[in-house]
Structure 1
Amino acid sequence: MKLVKLIANLGYGSRKEVAWMFREGRVTDAAGEVLYADDKVEHEHVHIDGEPLDPPVGMVLMMNKPLGATCSRKDQGRVVYDLLPPRYRVRDPSLSTVGRLDRDTSGLLLFTDDGALLHRIISPRAEVTKIYEATLAQDLRGDEAELFASGTLMLESETTPLAPARLEVLAPRLARLTVTEGRYHQVRRMFAATGNHVDALRRIAVGALQLDELPAGEWRMLSEAEIAKVFAGTPVV
């Protein structure tokens, strides 16, 4: 791929704008030597304004999603894409969230521009585990773990029961829930089915990839080894 098209696809500007970057000497190699549009240079050696070029297609980000932000691109309020560099909005292929967390749920949120990887993670067949910590309005009644693990729980308006899920009681009103599905508001609806209400919900892991010490609203790039952890979670039995 030609450098102008490559840089434009990464969201740095239109092809015309990127061509001007070359004319202004803003595109260089790692040593600071000015590059020209027809040069053949490996992606990792290209710099813009002295900074390395953004990763190519296949990058994965982890964000500590804050409360109040939505995963929609069209929402009128605060959206998670506002927390990323503006050029990430116009990458081609586009950068998308891997599944969604609703406005009132915080924690681990993944982004990728690799469509095949995205679908591999969210596919029900993959059974990638998602772990949430839920703060509840009422004390747990004691039979929730057995019910959630049974594979027979039917949510309101659903036609098929939920897959087995694992519940760990951390305190009378605090629980850790591991699920392999991603149905609409699933965790909240599961507790609602037991007569309880989720006051606060936070996702802490996807597979074996855990949310680290990122402050709320911050993000970072994942390494290949970290991406592999997504598919290394403990199965729900």
Structure 2
Amino acid sequence: MKLVRLIANLGYGSRKEVAWMFREGRVTDLDGEVLYADDKLPHERILLDGEPLDPPPGLVLVLNKPLGVTCSRKDQGRVVYDLLPPRYRLREPALSTVGRLDRDTAGLLLFTDDGALLHRIISPRTHVPKVYEATLAEDLRGHEAELFASGTLLLESETTPLAPAQLEVLAPRHVRLVLTEGRYHQVRRMFAATGNRVETLARIAVGDLTLGDLPPGQWRALAADEVAQIFAAPL
């Protein structure tokens, strides 16, 4: 692939705009030698304005999603793409969220431009565990763990029972829940089915991947070994 197309596909500009970057000498190799639009060079040896290029296709990002931000490209309020560099909206192939967290749910959100990987993570057949922590409006009644694990819980307006889920009680109103599917507002609806209400909700892990010390609103690219953690059992 010609360098002009590679850089344009990373979202740095249209091909015409990137072509001007070459004419202005802004694209160089690691030794500072000016590159030309039809040169061929390994991705990791290319600099733009003296900085390494963004990662190539196959990118996986993790974001610590704050409250009040929507998993959407367009919304009246803030969206998760506002927390990434603007050029990430323009990448080809497109960078998409891996599933969604609603506006009132915080925590671990993944992005990728790898469609096969995205499908593998979100497919119920893969059984990738997603781990949530929630605080509740009322004390647990004591039957929730057995009910959630039974595989018989049927949410309102649905005809297929939920897959078994694991509930860990941390305090009378504080729980950790492990799901292997991702239905619409699932955690909130599960507790609503027991007569309770979720007050705060955060996803803390996907598989064995956690946020670590990543602050709210911050993101980073994942290395290959970290992507592999997604398909491991949760901690």
Query: Which residue of the partner structure matches residue 184 of structure 2?
Result: 184
Using the alignment, how far apart are the partners of 1:28 and 1:234 within structure 2? Answer: 43
Unaligned runs of 5+ in 2: none
Q: In structure 2, how many angstroms separate the alpha carbons of the residues matched to 1:52 and 1:7? A: 11
Alignment match, 2:105: 105
* Structure 1 segments unaligned to the other structure (5+ residues): none
Tell me whether 1:200 sits opposite 2:200 in the alignment: yes
Task: State the one-letter code of the partner of 1:74.
Answer: K
CA distance in structure 2 between the partners assigned to 1:2 and 1:76 by the alignment: 38
Q: Which consecutive aligned stretches of 4+ in structure 1 deviate over 3 angstroms post-superposition?
A: none
Given that 2:129 and 2:207 are in contact with CA atoms closer than 8 Å, whether structure 1 keeps it comes out as yes
Distance 1:141 1:211 in 2: 31
Query: Per-residue deviation at 1:234?
Result: 4.7
**Which residue of 2 is the match for residue 9 of structure 1?**
9
Question: Which residue pairs with 2:60 in the alignment?
Answer: 60
Q: Distance in 1 between matches of 2:80 and 2:65?
A: 7
- Code of the aligned partner of 1:139: D
Which one-letter code corresponds to 1:32 in the other structure? G
| TM score, norm. by length of structure 2 | 0.99
1:152 paired with 2:164, answer no
Give 1:222's aligned residue. 222
RMSD value, Cα: 1.0
The equivalent residue for 1:69 is 69
Mapped to 1, the partners of 2:114 and 2:93 lie a distance apart of 8
- Partner of 2:62, secondary structure, is strand
- Please give the residue correspondences for 1:112-127 in structure 2 after superposition, counting only pairs within 5 Å: 112-127=112-127
Q: Does 1:94 align with 2:88?
A: no
Q: Deviation at 1:212?
A: 1.2
Equivalent-residue separation in structure 2 for 1:86 and 1:72 (angstroms): 14
In structure 1, C-alpha distance between the alignment counterparts of 2:67 and 2:181, rounded to whole Å? 22
In structure 1, give the amino acid aligned to 2:229. Answer: K
Query: Aligned with 2:64: secondary structure?
Result: strand
| Matches of 2:218 and 2:184, distance apart in 1 | 25
Q: Deviations over 1:70-121 (max 9, x none)?
A: 0011211100000000000000000000000000000000000111110111
Taking the aligned partners of 1:234 and 1:135, their CA distance within structure 2 comes to: 20
Query: Which one-letter code corresponds to 2:142 in the other structure?
Result: G
Deviation at 1:30, TM superposition (A): 1.2
CA contact (8 A) 2:64 2:217 kept: yes
Conserved? CA contact 2:106–2:202, under 8 Å: yes
C-alpha distance in 2 between matches for 1:221 and 1:74: 23
For 2:213, the equivalent position in structure 1 comes to 213
Give me the TM-score of the superposition, normalised by structure 1: 0.98
Q: Distance in 1 between matches of 2:234 and 2:69?
A: 29
Identity %: 79
Q: Say whether the 8 Å CA contact 2:209–2:234 is kept in structure 1.
A: no
Please give the secondary structure, in 2, of the residue aligned with 1:64: strand
Partner letter of residue 73 of structure 1? Answer: R
Distance 1:24 1:104 in 2: 46
Give the number of equivalent residue pairs.
235
Following TM superposition, by how much is the alpha carbon of 1:39 offset from its aligned partner in structure 2, in angstroms?
1.4
What's the offset of the Cα at 1:136? Answer: 0.4
Q: Match for residue 171 of structure 1?
A: 171
State the AA in 1 paired with 2:206.
Answer: V
1: CA distance between counterparts of 2:43 and 2:162?
A: 45
Q: Tell me the alpha carbon deviations over residues 171-217 of structure 1, each in whole angstroms, 9 at most, x when there is no partner.
A: 01000000000000000000000000000000000001012111110
Contact 2:205 2:234 survives alignment (8 Å): no
